[in-house]
Amino acid sequence: MNKPVSYSKNTSLYNKKIAWLNKLRKKVDKITDALGIPVDEGIKEAVVIFNAVGLYTSGSCEGHLNHGLPAPWIDVKASNEPKGRYVGENEIYRKVARKYNLKVEEVRRGYNIEAWWEAIKEAEKSGETKEYKRWRKENKKLLKKAKKFLEEFYKKRKVDPDVKLKIDIFGNGSFRIHNGGKYYKLVNDLSRKEKREVKKMLKKFREEINAFTEFLKNKYFSTRFKLPKIRKIRL
């Protein structure tokens, strides 16, 4: 990328931004999921740029026609998520695990739905920890930032409703940015007609998130944009 004219008097800042992007790319290249699968090539640059502008990622996919979802998506959540959500949660899970003769991790992972649900209901009575509440507030800040970016991106941009990026908010305050519209469901749940249609649409879905990535990259290289605090990068 050629250095913008606006950086003619601030070469140092431009060089720092280039260096940080290169560092992010190297880190993202090394990221794998629980199965050892790396970040999809088609979404990798978006993951890099999201993190560069302070939208810290926790999951991503370029969209596939043979498994998963047929549209690209990126999950965003604040760093340093507390291990526990509720006050006294660990003891509650240990108690339930003993009752059902299970390991604590088996209860947490829902191997026994009855045990998992009992632990959740009991833990909710204690309320969330202060640490978890603070983390949720950080997610709200990220959500506000993401909404602002998308609003500006679509201010003069008109696209098919199925192509337009949207935000889905999860229960813990983290969120997902994706498109796909009526096709945004598991590939196995698509009708034969939808599968034929989505083969043509996937390219447009990917092009849209790439366009948003370029928009964010321009934001990043604006002289007004300050480098965010370095955070741990996830998939």
Percentage of residues in the chain having pLDDT higher than 90 = 82
Least confident of 84-88, 128-132, 229-233: 229-233
Q: Exposure string (b/e) for 151-185, b if CB count within 10 Å is 16 or more?
A: eebeeeeeeeebbbbeeeeeeebbbbbbbbeebbe
* Boundaries of every domain in the chain: 5-81+146-220
CA 56 to chain centre: 7
Place of tokens 């928009």: 215
Query: For residue 11, what pLDDT is reported?
Result: 78
Query: For residue 4, what pLDDT is reported?
Result: 58
Percentage of residues in the chain having pLDDT higher than 70 = 92
Q: Which residue has the higher pLDDT, 233 or 137?
A: 137
Q: Which residue has the higher pLDDT, 174 or 226?
A: 174
**Is the pLDDT reported for residue 8 higher than 80?**
no
Query: For residue 235, what pLDDT is reported?
Result: 45
